[in-house]
Chain A
Amino acid sequence: MADKKLTVVISQAQGKNPAKRELEESLAAALLMEADLEVSLVPHLYDLSADHTGTLFLQAIRGDVVVLSWLYPRACHWVLDRLDVRGREGLVLLKEEVDEAEEDPEAAESTSVPFVNPERQKSIPDRKIYSIDLRVSSTLDDYLTEIKRLSQDAQVQTFQLGNMLQETPRPAQLEKYLKPLDIISAQKMGGNVAEADQLEPTKRRWYPVIDYGLCTNCMECIDFCLFGVYGVDQGGQILVEEQDSCKKGCPACSRVCPENAIIFPGHKTPGIAGADGEVAGLKIDLSKLFGAPDALEMAARERDVELVAEGRDAVGLSVGIPSRLKVSQSTSDELDDLIDSLDAMEL
């Protein structure tokens, strides 16, 4: 294993959607043919617990890594960060179409953070993590082209399987992640395979993931959440401390966050699930005109549902609601632009 290889990780979809399974399998098969890639397969990243061997496998990867998952790239990056699999965000060209004008490759590679925590900065190795969303294309070649491009750019380091092997748990437990086709065929066989060939099962989980590239450490989430999910580390930085205290389906703290820095990768609203920028999509969203409650109102309501479910009293908007007025930073710019475009409308 002295070759220099770029590691590609395929993170499986939750559930057993055949179309998704097929794309995962074709990708694994095609990528295994590439001599300069090391291909592996792990369960859905969001469901990995800290002691899952899939987590240990990911943590043992050195050098740049490409991660293919059924998640928005931003969600993927910060879920990995949560799992202590860290690096800088690598620039991926294969992604959901957005307005060209807003593209800024420099910004995408930027490493500045709004809240500086030296301890945290030290924990981020000098390598890149390229997160690719498997939902942006159903064409195998799109992924192969992008991964080949990345493997030419990437800082490829010797994949130190040797070092990895010296660590506990036993190497066989980690090595199996490098045999994606074996894993897939074992899954197809169902229960009729030796335990050693199967991935450890994962459970569906639900918890917030913090985007530390956006988080200003304002503490509004910790004030708002009444279930003790959030905590503060020794450097004074907010963290998700008790992730399993989080209430399944409740995204309320994400709505309260003024920076949109709290991601629930499993939520159906793209803005909450980690899509970039304002809500994606080319169509006009008329929800506000048709009576959508504002985000704070909605957050308080979602929290009340969970409080009542626990036998506690609903608190409505009386606890942990920011006193300042929430004004989207983009509002004033948007106003100028839209007034310019006013005549273009056919109303």
Chain B
Amino acid sequence: MPDDLVFMMGNFEARIPQDRVYSKSHLWLMPGEDRWRVGFTAYSVRLLQDVYFLDWAVDPFTQVREKQKIGEIESSKALSDLYAPSAGRILEFNEELLNDPSAINQADNYDKGWLFEMESEAQWLTPTEYLQILEDGWEQAQRIIKGQLN
């Protein structure tokens, strides 16, 4: 397995493992037998920081549209609605996180901190493509964040 790609967010190294694929909305997707396991990228986690609240708005086995709202997340610094990365069917949520969402943070985001599993036929981004998106979107992302800090 090749080394992780790295995107520099200021001084922070956001790792992009090459064993999986990515969505534009900053989620990673790991292929399973008939499903994708989905979680936050290091980039997302760095922006959120210290997640302490996670809530899902749909039940398992719900058919979703792309960009349909499926939940909410809140951290000490930020909040966000969460959206389906593509059309498909949500199969299961990570139960562990519902008791304690802290596994989303830090080192576990690519592993124990997975969010949900879904069926999808969508085309995802390769790690290199995702890195490119981060590079292209970094200025805009900073604007979105900083525009709200004033």
Give the B-binding residues of A (Cβ under 8 A): 281, 283-293, 297, 331, 334-335, 337-339, 341-342, 344-347
A284, B150: Cβ atoms closer than 8 Å: no
A347, B78: Cβ atoms closer than 8 Å: no
Chain B contacts of A290 at CB under 8 A? 25-26, 44, 80-83
A338, B143: Cβ atoms closer than 8 Å: yes
Give the A-binding residues of B (Cβ under 8 A): 9-12, 23-26, 44, 46-48, 67, 74, 77-83, 85, 141-150
Chain A contacts of B9 at CB under 8 A? 347
Report Cα–Cα, A114/B137, bound state, in Å: 37
Kindly report which residue of chain A lies nearest to residue B85, judged by CB atoms: A291
Chain B contacts of A335 at CB under 8 A? 143, 147
Report Cα–Cα, A345/B10, bound state, in Å: 9
Kindly report which residue of chain B lies nearest to residue A102, judged by CB atoms: B150
A291, B83: Cβ atoms closer than 8 Å: yes
Chain B contacts of A284 at CB under 8 A? 47, 77-79, 145, 148-149
Chain B contacts of A289 at CB under 8 A? 25-26, 44, 47, 80, 141, 144
- Cβ-defined partner of A345 (8 Å) among B67, B74, B145: B145
Number of CB contacts from chain A to chain B under 8 A: 88
Report Cα–Cα, A291/B23, bound state, in Å: 9
The B interface is mostly helix, strand or loop, or mixed, namely: mixed
B85, A334: Cβ atoms closer than 8 Å: no
Report Cα–Cα, A286/B25, bound state, in Å: 11
Do A338 and B150 form a contact, CB below 8 Å, given A283-B77, A285-B78, A347-B9? yes
Chain B contacts of A288 at CB under 8 A? 144
Q: Closest Cβ of chain B: how far from A276's Cβ, in Å?
A: 16
Report Cα–Cα, A331/B148, bound state, in Å: 11
Kindly report which residue of chain B lies nearest to residue A346, judged by CB atoms: B10
B146, A281: Cβ atoms closer than 8 Å: no
Q: Closest Cβ of chain B: how far from A125's Cβ, in Å?
A: 38
B67, A337: Cβ atoms closer than 8 Å: no
Report Cα–Cα, A290/B71, bound state, in Å: 11
B47, A341: Cβ atoms closer than 8 Å: no
Report Cα–Cα, A281/B148, bound state, in Å: 10
Do A283 and B81 form a contact, CB below 8 Å, given A289-B47, A345-B145, A347-B12? no
B79, A283: Cβ atoms closer than 8 Å: yes
Q: Closest Cβ of chain A: how far from B13's Cβ, in Å?
A: 12
Q: Closest Cβ of chain A: how far from B53's Cβ, in Å?
A: 11
Chain A contacts of B23 at CB under 8 A? 291
Chain A contacts of B74 at CB under 8 A? 283
Given contacts A281-B79, A290-B82, 4 further A-B contacts (CB under 8 A): A290-B80, A331-B147, A337-B146, A338-B149
- Cβ-defined partner of B146 (8 Å) among A283, A342, A346: A342
A345, B79: Cβ atoms closer than 8 Å: no
Q: Among the interface residues B26, B67, B142, B148, which one has the most CB atoms of the partner chain A within 10 A?
A: B148
Can you name 25 A-B residue pairings with CB atoms under 8 Å?
A281-B79, A283-B78, A284-B78, A284-B145, A284-B149, A286-B48, A286-B145, A287-B83, A289-B141, A290-B80, A290-B81, A291-B23, A291-B85, A292-B81, A297-B67, A334-B143, A334-B150, A337-B150, A338-B142, A338-B145, A338-B150, A345-B10, A345-B149, A346-B10, A347-B10
Report Cα–Cα, A293/B64, bound state, in Å: 14
Kindly report which residue of chain B lies nearest to residue A334, judged by CB atoms: B147
Report Cα–Cα, A334/B79, bound state, in Å: 20
Report Cα–Cα, A331/B44, bound state, in Å: 24
A338, B147: Cβ atoms closer than 8 Å: yes
Chain B contacts of A346 at CB under 8 A? 10
Report Cα–Cα, A213/B10, bound state, in Å: 43
- Cβ-defined partner of A342 (8 Å) among B46, B78, B142, B144: B142
Kindly report which residue of chain B lies nearest to residue A342, judged by CB atoms: B146
Kindly report which residue of chain A lies nearest to residue B147, judged by CB atoms: A334
Report Cα–Cα, A305/B67, bound state, in Å: 15
Q: Among the interface residues B24, B80, B143, which one has the most CB atoms of the partner chain A within 10 A?
A: B80
Chain A contacts of B24 at CB under 8 A? 291
